[in-house]
Structures are given as C-alpha cells and as structure tokens.
Amino acid sequence: MYEIKENTRKIDGMDVTTYTREIYSANVLSVEAGTNGFQGGDSGHGSRTYFRITDCGSTDIRVKAHGFDGDEGLEVTLGGDCELETIIRALKFITKVLEDQAKEVYD
C-alpha cells in the first residue's frame, strides 16, 4: 500500500482538492492530480483540472512545451523500462483521481 496525501491548490482563483502519491521503482516519481469537477461549461464556468508529475530521483524524463508560454500543449519523453512502468502507474493514478472527483464521465 502507498500513502496518498490530500491538498488544496488555488488554480486560477478556484480551490481544487488534489491528491499526491509517490511511485517507486529504480526511479521515483511524485504525481499529483485534482479537479473541482464539471461546472456546466467552458473555463469561464469555473471547472479546473490539474495534474503534475515530478522526478524525485533517477527518472529520465524530458518535457517540451508547445506554443507561446506552452499554451498549445506539451510532449513528454521518457527513457528506460522503469520509466515506462512508473509513468503507466502515474497516469492510472491521475485518471482514477480525476474520474472519482468528476463524478460523471461522458465517453
């Protein structure tokens, strides 16, 4: 079992509850995610979604932002078998947190 920490972040003036955990292998990642869920529309209606992945040790990770100030997207590249393993676990954690907090998912 692993420890999950709860936190509140202010995202564009909105309070968002986030959850953080660490993922251990030959490398170590910290992952944090949260949302205030569906708010009935676009960004102006107040919905905020947040996630962060942090290298805490020995992770071969590179991130490239696209567009002015990274406003058009990002790409993430990882090197190594353990990085593949830990990023899969990190993305599963992010997905679980966001689905649980959204309480409603449209496929």
Mean of per-residue pLDDT scores for the chain: 94
- Does residue 19 belong to any structural domain of this protein? yes
Is the pLDDT reported for residue 107 higher than 80?
no
What three-state secondary structure class fits 103?
coil
Q: How confident is the model at residue 103 (pLDDT cuts 50, 70, 90)?
A: confident
Is the pLDDT reported for residue 87 higher than 70?
yes
pTM for the model:
0.92
Give the number of domains in the chain. 1
Q: Which of 39, 87, 44 is nearest to 63 (CA)?
A: 87
Residue 77: CA atoms inside 13 Å, Cβ hemisphere, count?
Answer: 4
Q: Stretch 23-49: mean pLDDT, rounded?
A: 94
Predicted local confidence at residue 105, as pLDDT = 60
- Does residue 107 belong to any structural domain of this protein? no
Domain region containing 30? 5-102
Q: Stretch 76-95: mean pLDDT, rounded?
A: 98
